[in-house]
Amino acid sequence: MKKAAIALLFTLTLAFAGCGDKEESTNTTTDQTEQTGTETGDDVQGDLEGEGPLVDGVLNVGTNAEFPPFEFVGDDGEPDGFDMALIKAIGEKLGVDVVVENMEFDSLVASIGSKIDVAIAGMTITDERKNMVDFSDEYYEAVQYVIVPADSEIASAKDLEGKNIGVQLGTTGDFIVEDIKDATAAQYNKAVDAVNDLRNGRVDAVIIDKNPAQVFGEQFKDEVKLYDGESAEFGFEKEYYAIALPKGDEELAKSVNDALAELKADGTFDELVTQYIGN
């Protein structure tokens, strides 16, 4: 929404509020570190068709808060985690309000430029995604891990052949399963559901990024064990997380990359790593 339109709406709202009752409309300013969207996205602000977040002053950010420690739903029901703290710090540098919308991981890329301006979701840079979006500079190195029941005999990529493997839909773990001979991907919208089905014996293994795997591994440590996918037995490739940006918006890309570089240089980035990821 354009600033003039907001101002007009605000004036009208006050005028009508004045007619009805005595209650003062006071809480109209927004705190950029607190403000987040709802699951349905009803209160997402900003004019996505307009001049863009740098002009509107609102950065609409999509995430999928099912990926601890990068993003998860906090005790207050709002998305929390490393990525959320990082994008809010970037928003502060850019002087824009950050509004977070929690959505399915698989719809993030397609929503950039319409429902959301950018996405931060532990998202790996891939060539397929690069056809649809641009990426910021990378901010974190990752690799897929394999979670199996504690008593499983699976210990190598070969052992995954023909198995039923739980993944989060549309993730790089999902793409890896496509290349495993005779394996079936059991696709979940929430990674935790895949892990629960592993515990229930409905899937033989779960393939998911290292840090969430470690979180789940710790949470269910008596029931599961983890394999580092980078080990010789599995041979998965390193991945790099970046913020997904609208294709061709060089100004936004430069602003985001400059902010990221500043946060790395001034130590904020490392503080957030220590706070949320711990290694």
- Which of 87, 123, 143, 205 touches ligand ARG (CB under 6 A)? 123
For ligand ARG, the closer of residues 56 and 86 by Cβ is 86
Stretch that binds ligand ARG, among 37-45, 115-123, 131-139, 196-204 (CB under 6 A): 115-123
**Which CA distances in Å does 240 have to 63, 130, 142, 175, 184?**
17, 13, 6, 15, 25
Site string for ligand ARG, 134-173 (x = CB under 6 A): ----------------------------------x--xx-
The helix/strand/coil state of 186 is: strand
Residue 220 contacts by C-beta under 8 Å, 6 or more apart in sequence?
Answer: 195, 199
Helices and strands (DSSP H and E) totals, the chain: 10, 15
Residue 276 near ligand ARG by CB under 6 A: no
Residue 211 near ligand ARG by CB under 6 A: no
* Token couple for 90: 């970037």
Site string for ligand ARG, 59-88 (x = CB under 6 A): -----x-xx---x-----------------
| 279 closest CA partner among 52, 82, 90 | 82
For ligand ARG, the closer of residues 96 and 176 by Cβ is 176
In contact, 66 and 123? CB cutoff 8 Å:
no
In contact, 153 and 96? CB cutoff 8 Å:
no
Q: How far is the CB of 63 from ligand ARG (least distance, A)?
A: 6
d(CA 195, CA 166): 7
Task: Show contacts with ligand ARG in window 87-106 (CB under 6 A).
Answer: 105
Q: How far is the CB of 174 from ligand ARG (least distance, A)?
A: 7
* Binding residues for ligand ARG (CB under 6 A): 64, 66-67, 71, 105, 121-124, 168, 171-172, 209, 239
